[in-house]
């Protein structure tokens, strides 16, 4: 990058927040996919005005701008594949306002999701979206990917909590979208358009979030299924029993074994599947609900249903669930991680089809995820140096996506498209959907400087 541009960036944010050494640039070159693209410079702004000034320079000079939160994304969204400026938002991490009366929080995008949850829970309030990465990922990254998480089953995903936001557009102007009220319908819904746009339409600099009252009580159960088919049938039966758990998580045997090897939590590795089920609400209703769910599981073939007695037991169940992603890193060097979603009643069908695909392509596929949403994380464990196996994995991914769409599902429930799924989106959006998406991108970003090469 030209020296005079680096100098201009330093003039905006100060020397210590512009980094151009090889070490610094490499640190911001990858995300959780393990793929890489090295930025020319890393800049850490502190205010929306700084972001605006940086983007104006980039727009004038036609330099790519790649917004970045914690870099925990699973689709390569924050990787600077065309170089340019890695715009790291983690220094904009304040809780600007907590309006308890109206149950609204206003936050900067770099705030870590868990930190926000802790802050609001101190006041008896609740921010439900809980990606398993919540201790590291940022609210801005969650907004840009429309992150989900285990609680999406009952509470929805990030977009359901974003009332309004500010974003710096590719020409450097600041858009104030949406509201700071419980509702509002003035004009097109630009807030929702920005949410899930993966940093391709602008840089989110402020977010107004809806909060809920903190549930009084939580009950958590772990159900052990000797047969995987029974576990997937239990998912449909629980939903059909008119109880809406806050979480209904699934782990297949490979996921259980992998976690057990990693953290030695005493999980039953002989079981073909586990379901982690959580309900929340008032004291009396949660007791009734967890008992009913336990009965459904037992009637469907669970050999054991353990209900956590206290917070420590609950935490140890969740620790096992949250350890899956890091544990997978220990069983193979490369993980191809998909997050397909099917209608809930099709979970048994997709599980059967995944098993069949794994057998036919001779691949180690580990499945876990938010089964209550029909959202499964399908992990093909491989080694990118093994070109023959990678070819089989690639064909298996195409078949997994076709099966998902055939069952009425979507190729991504929460991780987004980034660079890893862009070649498949036409199968879901169709020609018209792609054309409209391209036109929207051109309106916002005619010179394609904002996170180029992502989604489309
Ligand atoms: C162990 C693990 C578990 C996970 N579990 C879940 C899960 O349960 N549910 C789930 O949905 N995801 C999950 N993820 C994926 C990931 O954590 C989410 O996608 C998260 O929302 C990314 O946040 P981030 O701050 O790391 O963003 P990054 O990875 O830095 O960026 C993600 C995308 O957002 C854009 N972006 C970031 N900040 C901004 C901004 N301020 N303005 C505009 N664009 C921006 C980037 O350009 C990129 O396209 C998991 C990841 C890991 C590693």
Q: Report the separation in Å between the CA atom of 133 and the middle of ligand 1, taken as the mean of its atom positions.
A: 8
Q: Report the separation in Å between the CA atom of 136 and the middle of ligand 1, taken as the mean of its atom positions.
A: 9
Residues 102 and 209 in one domain: yes
DSSP 8-state symbol, 361: T
Q: Report the separation in Å between the CA atom of 233 and the middle of ligand 1, taken as the mean of its atom positions.
A: 31
Domain boundary among 32, 55, 88: 88
Q: Is residue 249 in some structural domain?
A: yes
pLDDT on residue 325: 87
Indicate whether residue 86 lines ligand 1 (CB < 6 A). Answer: no
CATH at residue 310: 3.30.70.2190
pTM: 0.96
Tell the residue nearest (CA) to atom 19 of ligand 1: 73
Quote the CA–CA distance of 50 and 171 in Å, as a whole number.
13
Residues 180 and 240 in one domain: no
Neighbouring C-beta atoms of residue 153, cutoff 10 Å:
24
Residues 297 and 251 in one domain: yes
Quote the CA–CA distance of 419 and 77 in Å, as a whole number.
7
Q: What are phi and psi of 112, to 5 degrees?
A: -70, 135
Q: Report the separation in Å between the CA atom of 307 and the middle of ligand 1, taken as the mean of its atom positions.
A: 32
> What is the three-state SS of 242-298?
CCCCCEEEEEEHHHHHHHHHHHCCCCCCCCCEEEEEEEEECHHHHHHHHHHHHHHHH
Indicate whether residue 140 lines ligand 1 (CB < 6 A). Answer: yes
> What separation in angstroms does the CA of 289 have from each of 220, 234, 293, 425, 447?
11, 15, 6, 39, 54
pLDDT on residue 345: 87
Residues 123 and 72 in one domain: no
Q: Is residue 309 in some structural domain?
A: yes
219 neighbors 122 (Cβ within 8 angstroms)? no
Residues 156 and 186 in one domain: yes
Q: Report the separation in Å between the CA atom of 90 and the middle of ligand 1, taken as the mean of its atom positions.
A: 12
Residues 28 and 121 in one domain: no
Q: Report the separation in Å between the CA atom of 137 and the middle of ligand 1, taken as the mean of its atom positions.
A: 6
Indicate whether residue 92 lines ligand 1 (CB < 6 A). Answer: no
Indicate whether residue 413 lines ligand 1 (CB < 6 A). Answer: no
Per the structure, how many domains does the chain have?
3
Q: Is residue 312 in some structural domain?
A: yes
Q: Which residues contact 360 (CB under 8 A, 6 or more apart)?
A: none
Quote the CA–CA distance of 202 and 163 in Å, as a whole number.
17
Indicate whether residue 149 lines ligand 1 (CB < 6 A). Answer: yes
Q: Domain of 19?
A: 3-88
Ligand 1 pocket test, pick from 74, 109, 137, 165 with the greatest ligand atom count within 8 Å of Cβ, gives 137
Mean pLDDT by 10 residues, the chain (456 residues): 96 98 97 95 98 98 98 97 98 98 98 98 98 96 97 97 98 98 96 98 98 97 96 92 94 94 94 96 94 96 96 93 90 93 92 96 95 94 96 97 98 97 96 98 98 97
pLDDT on residue 142: 98
Q: Report the separation in Å between the CA atom of 317 and the middle of ligand 1, taken as the mean of its atom positions.
A: 24
CATH at residue 176: 3.30.465.10
Q: Which atom of ligand 1 is nearest to the CA of 414?
A: 11
Residues 189 and 223 in one domain: no
Q: Is residue 63 in some structural domain?
A: yes
Indicate whether residue 141 lines ligand 1 (CB < 6 A). Answer: yes
> What separation in angstroms does the CA of 338 have from each of 55, 310, 366, 409?
32, 34, 11, 13
Residues 104 and 50 in one domain: no
Q: Is residue 200 in some structural domain?
A: yes
Q: Report the separation in Å between the CA atom of 413 and the middle of ligand 1, taken as the mean of its atom positions.
A: 13
pLDDT digits (tens, 9 = 90+) for 306-352: 999 999 999 999 999 989 988 998 999 999 999 999 998 898 899 99
Q: Is residue 417 in some structural domain?
A: no
Q: Is residue 183 in some structural domain?
A: yes
Indicate whether residue 72 lines ligand 1 (CB < 6 A). Answer: yes
Q: Report the separation in Å between the CA atom of 138 and the middle of ligand 1, taken as the mean of its atom positions.
A: 7
Sheet strands side by side (includes 104-107): 95-99, 104-107, 203-210, 162-168, 174-178
Tell me the chain's radius of gyration from C-alpha atoms.
22
Indicate whether residue 412 lines ligand 1 (CB < 6 A). Answer: no
Q: Which atom of ligand 1 is nearest to the CA of 326?
A: 1
Domain boundary among 326, 349, 364: 326
Indicate whether residue 415 lines ligand 1 (CB < 6 A). Answer: yes
Q: Report the separation in Å between the CA atom of 30 and the middle of ligand 1, taken as the mean of its atom positions.
A: 12
Domain boundary among 326, 354, 379: 326
Residues 277 and 241 in one domain: yes
CATH at residue 49: 3.30.43.10
Quote the CA–CA distance of 67 and 57 in Å, as a whole number.
15
pLDDT digits (tens, 9 = 90+) for 111-137: 999 999 999 999 999 999 999 999 999
Indicate whether residue 129 lines ligand 1 (CB < 6 A). Answer: no
Q: Is residue 24 in some structural domain?
A: yes
Indicate whether residue 220 lines ligand 1 (CB < 6 A). Answer: no
pLDDT on residue 450: 98
Q: Which atom of ligand 1 is nearest to the CA of 205?
A: 41
Q: Which atom of ligand 1 is nearest to the CA of 149?
A: 8
Quote the CA–CA distance of 165 and 146 in Å, as a whole number.
13
Quote the CA–CA distance of 296 and 106 in Å, as a whole number.
41
Indicate whether residue 146 lines ligand 1 (CB < 6 A). Answer: no
Strand partners, 210: 104
Ligand 1 pocket test, pick from 144, 162, 200, 453 with the greatest ligand atom count within 8 Å of Cβ, gives 144
Q: Report the separation in Å between the CA atom of 401 and the middle of ligand 1, taken as the mean of its atom positions.
A: 22
Indicate whether residue 379 lines ligand 1 (CB < 6 A). Answer: no
């Amino acid at each position: 990058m030209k020296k005079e541009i680096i100098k201009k960036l330093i003039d905006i944010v100060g020397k210590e927040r512009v980094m151009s050494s090889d070490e610094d640039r490499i640190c911001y070159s990858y995300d959780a996919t393990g793929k890489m693209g090295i930025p020319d410079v890393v800049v850490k702004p502190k205010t929306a005005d700084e972001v605006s000034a940086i983007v104006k320079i980039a727009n004038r000079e036609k330099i790519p701008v790649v917004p970045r939160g914690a870099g925990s994304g699973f689709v390569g969204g924050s990787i600077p594949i065309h170089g340019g400026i890695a715009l790291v938002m983690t220094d904009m991490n304040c809780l600007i306002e907590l309006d308890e009366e109206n149950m609204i929080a206003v936050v900067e995008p770099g705030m870590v999701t868990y930190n926000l949850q802790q802050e609001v829970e101190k006041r008896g309030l609740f921010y439900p979206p809980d990606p398993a990465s919540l201790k590291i990922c940022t609210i801005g990254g969650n907004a840009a990917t429309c992150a989900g998480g285990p609680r999406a089953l009952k509470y929805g995903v990030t977009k359901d909590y974003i009332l309004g936001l500010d974003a710096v557009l590719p020409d450097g102007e600041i858009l104030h979208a949406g509201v700071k009220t419980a509702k509002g319908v003035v004009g097109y819904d630009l807030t929702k358009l920005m949410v899930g746009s993966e940093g391709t339409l602008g840089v989110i600099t402020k977010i107004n979030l809806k909060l809920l009252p903190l549930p009084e009580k939580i009950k958590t159960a772990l159900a052990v299924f000797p047969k995987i088919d029974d576990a997937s049938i239990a998912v449909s039966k629980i939903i059909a029993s008119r109880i809406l758990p806050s979480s209904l998580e699934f782990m297949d045997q490979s996921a259980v074994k992998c976690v057990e090897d990693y953290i030695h939590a005493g999980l039953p590795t002989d079981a073909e599947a586990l379901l982690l089920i959580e309900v929340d609400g008032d004291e009396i209703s949660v007791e009734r609900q967890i008992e009913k769910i336990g009965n459904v599981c037992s009637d469907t073939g669970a050999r054991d249903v353990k209900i956590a007695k206290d917070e420590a037991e609950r935490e140890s169940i969740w620790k096992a669930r949250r350890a899956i992603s890091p544990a997978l890193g220990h069983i193979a060097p490369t993980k191809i991680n998909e997050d397909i979603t099917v209608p809930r009643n099709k979970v048994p069908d997709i599980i059967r089809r995944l098993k069949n695909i794994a057998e036919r392509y001779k691949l180690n596929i580990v499945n876990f995820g938010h089964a209550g949403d029909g959202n499964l994380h399908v992990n093909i464990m491989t080694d990118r140096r093994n070109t023959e196996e990678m070819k089989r994995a690639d064909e298996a991914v195409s078949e997994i996506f076709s099966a998902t769409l055939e069952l009425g599902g979507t190729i991504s429930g929460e991780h987004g498209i980034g660079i890893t799924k862009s070649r498949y989106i036409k199968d879901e959006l169709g020609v018209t959907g792609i054309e409209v998406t391209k036109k929207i991108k051109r309106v916002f970003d005619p010179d394609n400087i904002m996170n180029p090469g992502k989604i489309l």
